[in-house]
Amino acid sequence: MTGKQLYILISLTAVLAACSTTKTVPEGERLFTGSTIKWDGKKPKDKGTLNSGMESRLRPKPNKRTLGIPFKLLIYNLGKDPGTKTKGLNYLLRKKWGEAPVLLSQVKLGTNNLILEQYRKIMVTSRRMCGIKST
């Protein structure tokens, strides 16, 4: 990589990093950054397997990140609402290349809790049927 290419790469990264990820987040709303699963009481032996299965069922998924930066959200914020148009730069930035912000208000805790509890019960039941003991 030549010095000029490195300079362009650093400049482009600095410009994207300077963009606000909350530009299109409405007033009073917050950007959803993800969730964690916590165990009450005794943890099962196969906690890792259960955690990965549960995490894949959580909704909504937060905005994707690369190296800790939500590039698709930044691209989305560069464009303006294209309305009903299906061509043009704003359409490409918002609908094709970008990713709309995932808001904290879109998270439905009750639904997520129900889904995770059902998954846990199914896993415990299937282990019992197979004769696998879990603690």
For 17, 34, 55, 60, 121, the CA distances from 115, given in Å and listed in that order, are 36, 17, 11, 13, 10
Task: Please report whether residue 18 resides in a domain.
Answer: no
Q: Are 80 and 90 in contact (CB under 8 A)?
A: yes
Q: What is the pLDDT of residue 38?
A: 77
Q: Is 133 contained in some domain?
A: yes
**Residue 29 in domain:** no
- Do 51 and 112 lie in one domain? The reply is yes
Q: What is the pLDDT of residue 18?
A: 64
Same domain, 73 and 97: yes
Mean pLDDT of successive 10-residue segments in the chain (135 residues)?
A: 83 70 82 80 76 83 86 87 86 90 87 86 73 55
Residue 130: the pLDDT is: 64
Q: What is the DSSP code (8-state) at residue 74? A: H
What is the pLDDT at residue 126?
A: 74
Please give the angle made by the CA atoms of 49, 51 and 56, to the nearest 5 degrees: 100
Domain carrying residue 114:
44-62+108-135
Structure confidence at residue 19 (pLDDT): 67
Per-residue model confidence (pLDDT) at position 133: 58
Q: Cα angle at 115 between 113 and 121, to 5 degrees?
A: 100
58, 113: one domain:
yes
Q: Closest Cα to residue 99, out of 123, 116, 119, 79?
A: 79
- CB–CB of 58/132 below 8 Å? no
The answer on 130 and 69 residing in a single domain is no
